[in-house]
Amino acid sequence: MIFTSTKSASLASSFLSEKVFFFSLSYLLPYLYAIMLSLQPSTSITRFSSFSQLYHRRRHSISPPPAPHLPLTRRTPLRHRLQIRALDAAQPFDYETQISDRFAQSTKLKIAIVGFGNFGQFLAKTLVSQGHTVLAHSRSNHSQIAQQLGVSFFSNPHDLCEEHPEVMLLCTSIISTENVLRSLPLQRLKRSTLFVDVLSVKEFPKNLFIQILPGDFDILCTHPMFGPESGKDSWLGLPFVYDKVRVGNEESRAIRIERFLEIFEREGCRMVEMSCAEHDKYAAGSQFITHTMGRVLEKLRLDTTPINTKGYETLLNLVENTASDSFDLYYGLFMYNKNAMEQLERLDLAFESLKKELFGHLHDVCRKQLFGKAEGMDVLEDQRVLSKLPQNGAALPAPSDTVRAENN
Ligand SMILES: *[C@@H]1O[C@H](CO)[C@@H](O)[C@H](O)[C@H]1NC(C)=O
């Protein structure tokens, strides 16, 4: 500016006499300077506001043009005008959020967990993370951990039932289930309530529910085949067994049970629909055997060695996994599954039969050494093949029969 004014001054000097020029310049300079200073910000405001106006019109063609009475002069406060446009632009976004919120609300359930121990807390984490409203009741005071998980804790079962949850999710231990169920004030619940259990045996809670619950209540028996240990990172691909034991005719009841199952579907569980009786048969031959072997090995106090094989590492893992479950659970698997006793007996027989084969083989080797080749070799060959017990459910031959059959 100073450069321009001196330049114009030198130009002017060629036309005007020195005296006149210096007088006029010294007289006008402060005014010129003041005008140029005040013009500088005003032009930038005008340019910016017209640009933002254009920008907003192009971006949001549906937003109305600025009101004609709004003066676009440099005195209009910039912040005020921008605020109006921002509100205008935010409205559709807000609207969509509200709609999606309302939609999400309708797919969420109010679930009351009864028995807030290890497993109840484990399930609660996922239920809360999926946006369901979770309540809990337990005989022990777990209010602190409930608060940390975002769960409302009720020490009194009456208070819990008066909250009218849509789903009552029993996470009790097998052996306490009957007492807990009988102590619940069922009359305080809504007439349409869904009862769900997650016990590791299925026929027992199914019969208990049918016996104790009013006919209006829906019943879903489930068994998530995983726990806080095996499902701590993800439930992806883990089996979830369920049996829709009783669902009322109303559409809302069918939808409610589907929504509950969706919780596990969404986590990637392998959903297996199966009758409670079938489950118990499979579980006795797999889960109960696993727990039993884990506990037998635990009694051996296996220790890690510098030369662990992969197989041995598997055994150590098995001990670790089964030892983290309570003895009550193991006892429940045995006591409340009618197929478990047969499996325990089969285990016993299998061990006896294995020992007999080993000792029988040893006996023959000793005899051969003592009496030379007087006796035939074919008997020995036959006994090398270890005999196998019949499959689940087949009649159990006496171990002596097995050995005799092999010898024939
Ligand atoms: C449960 O424990 C919390 C603190 O952890 C306490 O404030 C509350 O009074 C207890 N409730 C009962 C019924 O004992």
Q: Whose CA is nearest to atom 11 of ligand 1?
A: 141
Distance 188 CA to ligand 1 centre (A): 24
Highest mean pLDDT among 15-19, 52-56, 258-262: 258-262
How far apart CA 217 and CA 256 sit, in angstroms, is 12
Contact 128, 149 (CB under 8 A): yes
Considering only CA atoms, which residue is closest to atom 5 of ligand 1? 144
Closest to 117 (Cα-Cα) out of 326, 274, 353, 365: 326
pLDDT of residue 90: 55
Lowest mean pLDDT among 85-89, 157-161, 358-362: 85-89
Query: Residue 56 pLDDT more than 70?
Result: no
> Hey, what amino acid is at 265?
E
How much is the CA Rg of the chain, to the nearest whole Å?
41
Q: For strands 218-224 and 239-246, give the pairing.
A: antiparallel
Share of the chain above pLDDT 70, in %: 66
Instruction: Give phi and psi for 346, each to the nearest 5.
Output: -60, -40
Q: Which of 53-67, 127-141, 178-192 has the lowest mean pLDDT?
A: 53-67
pLDDT-based confidence at 11, cuts 50/70/90?
very low
Q: Among 68-82, 123-137, 326-340, which stretch is predicted with the lowest mean pLDDT? A: 68-82
Average pLDDT over residues 152-178: 96
- Examine the pLDDT at 59 and tell me if it is beyond 90: no
- Residue 155 Cβ contacting ligand 1 at under 6 Å: yes
Q: Which of 286, 294, 277 is nearest to 201 (CA)?
A: 277
The answer, yes or no, to whether any atom of ligand 1 lies below 6 A from the CB of 145, is no
Residue 364's pLDDT band (boundaries 50, 70, 90)? Answer: confident
Residue with token string 């006994």: 383
- Return the minimum-mean-pLDDT range out of 28-37, 259-268, 313-322: 28-37
In this predicted model, which residue has the larger pLDDT, 282 or 34? 282
Ligand 1 atom at minimal distance to the Cα of residue 144: 5
Query: Is the Cβ atom of 156 under 6 angstroms away from ligand 1?
Result: no
* 148 Cβ inside 6 Å of ligand 1: no
Say if residues 53 and 64 touch (Cβ distance below 8 Å). Answer: no
pLDDT score of 325: 83
Q: Which atom of ligand 1 is nearest to the CA of 155?
A: 13
Q: Is the CB of 26 under 6 A from ligand 1?
A: no
- Which pLDDT tens digit goes with each residue over 208-246? 999 999 999 999 999 999 988 889 999 999 999 999 999
What percentage of the chain has pLDDT greater than the value 90? 58
